[in-house]
Structure formats: structure tokens, C-alpha cells
Structure 1
Amino acid sequence: MPYVSSRARILTLCSAVVVALLCVAAFAPLPVTIAYPGMTANVLGSSGGQKVITITGTPTRKTSGQLRMVTIEATAPNAPVHFLDVAKAWFRTDEAAMPRSAVYQGSAKQADQVNAQEMQQSQDAATSAALGHLGLSSKKVHVDLTLAGVGGPSAGLMFTLGIIDSIDGNGHGGDLSGGRVIAGTGTITANGTVGAVGGVPLKEQAARQDGATVFLTPKAECADAKALPPAGLKVIPVTSLDNALSVLATLNSGGKVPSC
């Protein structure tokens, strides 16, 4: 029987312990969520068989082109995410590992309630911003926004642009989109301020997958937006509703627009 020194036995035992710890680390669930590009929806059209924007109390117009809101999806709050999942996401452009607390607040049911509340607030602010821009009274004009299965505040900007395009277009008989597929993200306030939302790189992926060639992003998120934009997607920073409308008008006239 070969002789094994005490030093060799100790090294073998330590190595076994290290391997065991690495295995535990690799397969132990982490407080992390994996996010990836989600669905997009043309706010000028229908989603899930329902018209996204319905307006009564004022004339509306036919539109061309598309104004697409974008989303990200994420693993469920109770779904286990392991080190290997995080490592895989690190090397992909269509996945991102994010702290679970940054995506979900509480249980899945609580997260759904928060997202639904934020979506309603976003829709109310979008309606106020759009009607305020057009000089219309919310007492006479009713806007109904329907987008099943989507929560959060990040569609505010695109809802606002969609309402304006449905009623007034660019103010000169044309479309805000200029016939293009334009996507975007950003919160909106009743006075038209555009705010940051997060997840912009993944939303760019979703936008390009669904045919967008232009992407409007909050200016505060330009650093993330320009990190690795998909080929063929022009990324334009905006700070407000008026700024977004000005950018689209310049784009449609063939002028030079800002870029992240």
C-alpha cells in the first residue's frame, strides 16, 4: 500500500472541501433575477385583440407607421436563479442579471399590484400631458388606454405620443412617425417631463426585433443606451414631450437629430 503523507492527506481533504463549496455556490439560489427583451406593442394599433387607444369627444385620424412601447420580462420572483445562470447572462446581450429587489417588491402578487398601479398612474399622466399639449379639456375628451398584461410606468412617453398622433398628428396633416416604426421608453409626468426607467439595452433589443429603426430614450439613460445598441437602430435622447415632438419633426423633415 503506497505511503501517503499527512500533508498530502490534508491537501486532498482541503481540495475536496473547496470543490464542495464551489458546487454549493454554483447551484445555490441567488437573490437575482434574469431579465430579457419582452413584448412590444404599437400603441396606434391593437394588442391582444383590443385597440390600445380609444378616444371619444373629439375627432380622430387614421395613422400610418408605428409607435411601439417596449417591455422587458424577468424570471418570476420565486424562480431559483443560480451562479451559472448569472454567468451565462454576463456573456449575452439579450439577458441581464439584476438584483431581485430592483425588479420585484415583495411577493409576486404584491409586484403585480404595484405594476398595475404604476401603469394606471402612467396612463393618467400620459392623457393629461397629451390633452394639455393639444389644448383639450379632459372633461370633454375621454381617452381609454388598454394594454393587458403590461405593468409599470415606462410606456408613458409612447402613450402620450400615441394620443397626440391619433388626434392631431404632427399638426400639419402628417404622422408623428413619418411612416416609420418608432419605439421608445420613458415615464411621463402631467407637465410632459420624461423620466428614466431602466432596462434600456434590453428594450432596444426588443424594439429592433419588432422592426423599429428609431428608439427614443430618456436622456438620463444615454450611457446605458449607447453601450451596445442593435445594428440599424438610431437611438435618440429626449427630456420632455416637447423635445420628443421636436425631434420627430426634425427627423421627418430630414434634419439632423441628436444621438446617444
Structure 2
Amino acid sequence: MPRRTATMLASTLVLIALLCAGVLITVPYAEMSPGPTVNTLGETRGEPVLRIPKHKTYRTSGNLNMTTVRVTGADYRMNLGQAVVGWLAHDSVVVPHDTLYPDGKTEEQSTQENAEEFSQSQESAKVAALRELKIPVATQVVVSTVVKDSPSEGKLHAGDVIKAVDGAKVEEPGDVAELVTKHKPGEDVVFTIIPAREAAAAEKAGREPEGSRKITITTEKAPDTEQGDDEDRAIVGIRAGTDHRFPFEIDIKLADVGGPSAGLMFSLGIIDKLTPGSLTGGKFIAGTGTIDDAGKVGPIGGINMKLVGAREEGARYFLTPDENCASAAADTPDGLTLIRVKTLDDARKSLEKISAGKTDALPSCSTG
């Protein structure tokens, strides 16, 4: 066989072997890519994303788009070839599988966790928006969860409002544990509560909940203390949390989205609808960021994929959490202006500058 033919044959066989290896060899990686963006001022599936039915609202214009990231599922097994393509692509990123699904977390568990975070982000977005507008929001301490087979099972229920423990007024979730642990295991503790159903009915009717009742629960020893320990800790088997009573209904509808990163954009959408004029000035603005009840904006994951998705949809400005700024500035799509935000008030003031055409005064992101 001529040397040239043998060389070509050997090269072809090596190439085939490499291609087969690329397809057959799996690697512990997952892929992130730009997901859809949704205008919080608009509609999705024929329904408004934000609906405020019993309070005066104002006409809006432009876009305040929340952004998302697509990720491969927990059971997805990437092969070597796909990983290489992903590493070379600009519109996707390959990350270790454990980054998205740590500690062997299943896709179902991840979806449930994301749904819970999304629900909480909606609640905080409403609180932050109303407080930014100086509209009072009442808070109350509630039973968040009841532990199965605990002393509270069947006596307390998720959503019950906790008014007092042993007659002492409860103002923060931490007050509940503090008052319960004053007891020794086996002693009785008296909860003054308003049942969840009655509390929900009162909120819907726009009135203060009434009809409190006293519930006596016998404490037990916490499982993290040992028999005979001088510091045996008494528990009743609940977790207390905070619930908010809003002065009017604010409904957020958005299916197939999870996680907390849309909080900032929901808050801005609510503010725009509740205030005269257009907060965007008709401009296409996108963004991301978690938000807490006080209006503090927190960092998110997948920032670069969100930038790509926003620009592809037509965004010209992107509200960027302060802690994500350096990463975002290092790889910003052409035509997209990054705006640094630390709080909801920062974001609102930046939108007002855009609307007024004062874009030179916008706080920018830098790689430093």
C-alpha cells in the first residue's frame, strides 16, 4: 500500500476514533444558555404579568423585561463532544454538573426549590415596591411549617397567625423559639393564634383578623440534645415565619419560571403601574436581581447568558446587580448598556434618568 494512502487511512481511523470517543465518553458537566425574557409590564399567554385589580393604576409603555437562563436537566449526561462545542460557543456556558445540582439534588427537588424561591421573590417584590412608594405593609408572624409527628401536629397549622406565646406578644419569628425554649421539655406552652383560614378570610376582606384562640402544647426535647444533658432544649415542632398583609391585591402570573432573580424587575413593574407617567420613557430595559423586603438587590447566577438573551430580544439597557457587575462588564453584548444597581431606589432613579434622556449620569459597571 502506498505510504500516502496508508497515512490517509490511519488519519481517517484516528478521526473516527476521536469522534466515537467524543460521543461515547460522558463528562460531569451541564450547560446554561439564554432563556426567554418577559416584559413585566405586558402579558404572557394572554394574561397580564402584573394585575392590580382594586387600586388605581396608570398606563405604562416600553419594556421592563425579566430575564431567565435555560439549564440542562439533572439526568442529562453531556458527552465530550457536546462539552467542547459548549466551551467554544458564545451563547452558552458549560459548568460542572454539581454547580446546578449540588449534593446529588434531583431535577424534581431543584424544581421545587426554585418554585419556592420564586414565590418568595414575588412576596418580597410586592413589599419592596410598596415601601418604596411609602405605602404601609403590615407584617405578622405565622406558622411556616409543622414537623410531622411533633407535639404541634394537628394543633397548629401552616398559615396560623401567632399573636403571643405564654401571653407575651410575638413580633418577630425569632420571638417564638426564644419563648418556647424558656421551658423545659415536657412542660406546657400556650400559643395565642388566629387560625389560617380566618386570617386568610380577613385579608381578602381587607380587615384585621379576629377570633384568636389559645392552644396548649406540651414541649418535647430537641433531637440534637442528649438524654440527661443540662441544656436540654424544648421544642414544639414548628418553624415560624413572616407573612405580609397588603393594603390591596397585587397578582403576579408567570408560569414555568423559578428562582428568585426576577424580584427586582417585578418591583419596578409594580411601581410603574402604581405611579403616573412611564417609568421607562418607552425604552426597552431588561434586568435581573434578587430583592429583599427592604429593597436591597442581590446577585444572581448566569448573568452573561441573561445579557445575551436580553440583547437578542432588543434590550438597550440592563439593570445589573452590583455584585455581578465585574463579570457582566467583562463580556457585554454590543449595543447593551449596563447599569449598576444596589437597591430598588437605585434602579428607580436610573430609570428616571433614562426616561429624561440623562443617560450620561447613569451608574455603570466596570471590570475593576
Q: TM-score scaled to structure 1, two decimals?
A: 0.86
The offset of 1:20, in angstroms, is 7.9
Q: Which runs of 5+ in 1 are unaligned?
A: 1-18
Q: Which residue of 1 aligns with 2:70?
A: 73
> Is the 8 Å Cα contact of residues 214 and 236 (structure 1) preserved in structure 2?
yes
Distance 1:91 1:20, change over 3 A: closer
Q: Give me the whole-angstrom Cα distance separating, in 1, the residues matched to 2:22 and 2:315.
A: 40
Distance 1:93 1:85, change over 3 A: same
Q: Which residue of 1 aligns with 2:109?
A: 110
Can you list the C-alpha shifts for 1:92-121, whole angstroms capped at 9, x where unaligned?
Answer: 110100122222351111111011000001
Q: Which residue of 1 aligns with 2:278?
A: 175
Q: Which stretch has the larger CA shift, 134-143 or 34-43?
A: 134-143
Counterpart of 2:338, as a letter, is V
Can you list the C-alpha shifts for 1:12-40, whole angstroms capped at 9, x where unaligned?
Answer: xxxxxxx9899657632222111110000
Secondary structure at the aligned position of 1:122 is classed as: helix
> Is the 8 Å Cα contact of residues 201 and 227 (structure 1) preserved in structure 2?
no
The offset of 1:47, in angstroms, is 1.1
Q: Which residue of 1 aligns with 2:304?
A: 201
Q: Which runs of 5+ in 2 are unaligned?
A: 1-15, 138-245
Matching of residue 238 in structure 1 with residue 341 in structure 2: yes
Secondary structure at the aligned position of 2:259 is classed as: coil
Q: Which residue of 2 aligns with 1:229?
A: 332
The offset of 1:137, in angstroms, is 3.7
Structural mapping, 1:1-260, within 5 Å: 27-104=24-101, 106-138=105-137, 139-168=246-275, 173-255=276-358, 256=360, 257-260=362-365
> Is the 8 Å Cα contact of residues 153 and 187 (structure 1) preserved in structure 2?
yes
> Is the 8 Å Cα contact of residues 126 and 160 (structure 1) preserved in structure 2?
yes
Q: Which stretch has the larger CA shift, 46-55 or 97-106?
A: 97-106
The offset of 1:164, in angstroms, is 0.3
Secondary structure at the aligned position of 1:182 is classed as: strand
Secondary structure at the aligned position of 1:56 is classed as: coil
Q: Give me the whole-angstrom Cα distance separating, in 1, the residues matched to 2:18 and 2:315.
A: 46
Instruction: State the aligned residue count.
Output: 239
The offset of 1:237, in angstroms, is 1.1
Q: Give me the whole-angstrom Cα distance separating, in 1, the residues matched to 2:255 and 2:331.
A: 30
The offset of 1:142, in angstroms, is 1.4
Q: Give me the whole-angstrom Cα distance separating, in 1, the residues matched to 2:89 and 2:252.
A: 34
> Is the 8 Å Cα contact of residues 118 and 152 (structure 1) preserved in structure 2?
yes
Q: Which residue of 1 aligns with 2:174?
A: none
Q: Give me the whole-angstrom Cα distance separating, in 1, the residues matched to 2:251 and 2:99.
A: 30
The offset of 1:57, in angstroms, is 3.4
Q: TM-score scaled to structure 2, two decimals?
A: 0.62
The offset of 1:76, in angstroms, is 1.5
> Is the 8 Å Cα contact of residues 48 and 148 (structure 1) preserved in structure 2?
no
Greater fraction of residues in helix: 1
